[in-house]
Amino acid sequence: MMPQRSHLVGFGSYLPKKIVTNDDLAHYVDTSHEWIYERTGIVQRHISDEQETAVYMGTQAALKALEFAGEKAEEVDAIFVATSTPDQIFPSTAARIQAELSIKHGFAMDITAACSGFVYALATANAFILSGQIKNALVIGTEVYSRLLDWSDRRTCVLFGDGAGAVLVKAKNKEGGILSSHLHSDGSIGDILYVDGALGIKDASGYIRMNGREVFRHAVMRLSEVVDEALKSNGMTKESVNWLVPHQANLRIIKAMGKKLGLMDSQVIVTVDRHANTSAASIPLALDEAIRGGRIKKDDTILLEALGGGLTWGAILAIY
């Protein structure tokens, strides 16, 4: 019998109703569509209203993932939520979503790794499944980054958007599924991308602060390293990869990673133009779009990768 593996069986997403274009931003910040697009590849982003909280969006994405998989909420053993924008310090966003889904058993927990959060959360769910402690899990990325933006700072406010994505992973005794996960962090360079604020810190702004040039440099370097690590650990070459589903931060970084893998543009899932950077939500949002759109098919090899504040970075190699 094949050893137990974690398989991706359900996908779902939620995007706020309000769309803000680059031209819209140009009305109240010193920028233009051309300035934003040339540097980032972003055309528009979705911005939450008061009702579209991290819990609400995460719940909607989870329900769609369960529907896709044909599974019932009461059968879910664990919920892992990646978010840097929880509605409350506690209870956790995961526990609130557990309640919204009327799940009375198992456990729920938040994971904070900024834009790498979904990769970290999926790797955690995989570890619990491989250990035999759970049989399935909802892995959700849900973010309301509009709460963290200084809307007068064109260097950051143009980059981010809100949204949620979810994946249901399930233990199966069959080939495929998640092949390996690779997580890294380096706290010594955390100050190149951070939020200036926390409870107990006086006079903090609560806004995102970023050294864009340094983040770009580390992203290309660290993501290249972790992609090589993932392939090497599985005895695979870059030719084995059918699809790259990267964190959607910047089109130039995405294209650089696609080029490194020798992939055609059509093999790289890109949503940054329409979603902007939705942090931990970006990969599951892109996965859901690619699966439902029929691009990624059964038995395709998928590479997920992300880098975020911390710095944190990681990659997951899987067969759908």
Residues 214 and 183 in one domain: yes
Q: What is the pLDDT of residue 241?
A: 96
Mean pLDDT of 116-136: 97
Confidence check: pLDDT of 320 > 80: yes
183 shares a domain with 170: no
Split into its structural domains, the chain has a count of 2
Looking at the DSSP bridge assignments, the partners of residue 44 are: 21
Query: Could you list the residue range(s) of the whole structural domain that residue 249 is in?
Result: 178-319
What is the reported pLDDT for 230? 97
Q: How far is CA 80 from CA 14, 36, 107, 113, 198, in A?
A: 17, 33, 9, 12, 23
Based on the fold, state whether residues 192 and 302 are members of the same structural domain: yes
Q: Residue 136 has which token pair?
A: 């399935």
Task: Please check whether residues 152 and 255 belong to one and the same domain.
Answer: no
For residues 156 and 192, membership in a common domain is answered with no
Confidence of residue 204 (pLDDT cuts 50, 70, 90): confident
In this structure, the answer to whether residues 143 and 216 fall within a common structural domain is no
Nearest to 178 by CA among 103, 114, 127, 102: 127
Do residues 183 and 135 both lie within one domain? no
pTM of the model as a whole: 0.97
Is there a contact between 176 and 295 (Cβ–Cβ < 8 Å)? Answer: no
Give the mean pLDDT of 163-184: 97
Name residues whose C-beta falls within 8 Å of residue 313's C-beta, 6 or more positions apart in sequence: 116, 183, 184, 185, 219, 222, 223, 226, 305, 306, 307
Q: Do 254 and 185 lie in a common domain?
A: yes
Q: Are residues 13 and 156 in the same domain?
A: yes
- Domain end, chosen from 151, 174, 197, is at 174
Query: Hey, which residues are catalytic here?
Result: 115, 247, 277
CATH number, domain of 9, equals 3.40.47.10
Percent of the chain with pLDDT over 90: 93
Q: Which of 247, 234, 233 is nearest to 283 (CA)?
A: 247
Beta-sheet strands, E only, within the chain: 5-14, 18-21, 44-47, 78-82, 107-111, 136-144, 162-172, 177-185, 193-196, 207-210, 243-246, 301-308, 312-319
Alpha-carbon distance of 186 to 281, in angstroms, equals: 22
Interior/surface letters 18-55, b for 16+ CB within 10 angstroms, e for the rest = eebebeebbeebebebeebeebbbbbbbbbbeeebbbb
How would you classify the pairing of strands 136-144 and 162-172? antiparallel
Nearest CA among 61, 170, 184 for reference residue 116: 184
Where is the domain boundary, 147, 174, 201?
A: 174
14 shares its domain with 132: yes
Q: Are strands 243-246 and 301-308 parallel, antiparallel or unpaired?
A: parallel
Residue 201: per-residue pLDDT: 73
Claim to verify: residue 303 and residue 248 sit in the same structural domain = yes
User: Residue 129 corresponds to which tokens in the numbers above?
Assistant: 């499944």
pLDDT digits (tens, 9 = 90+) for 46-74: 999 999 999 999 999 999 999 999 999 99
Main-chain phi, psi angles of 244, to 5 degrees: -105, 125
At residue 202, does pLDDT exceed 80?
no
| Helix-then-strand count for the chain, H and E | 10, 13
Distance between CA 183 and CA 39 in Å, rounded? Answer: 28
Alpha-helix runs per DSSP H in 90-236: 93-100, 117-131, 154-157, 212-233
Domain identity same for 230 and 252: yes
Indicate the residue among 134, 150, 174 that finishes a domain. 174
User: Which tens digits make up the pLDDT trace of 227-249?
Assistant: 999 999 999 999 999 999 999 99
* Direct distance between the N- and C-terminal alpha carbons of the chain, in angstroms, rounded to an integer: 20
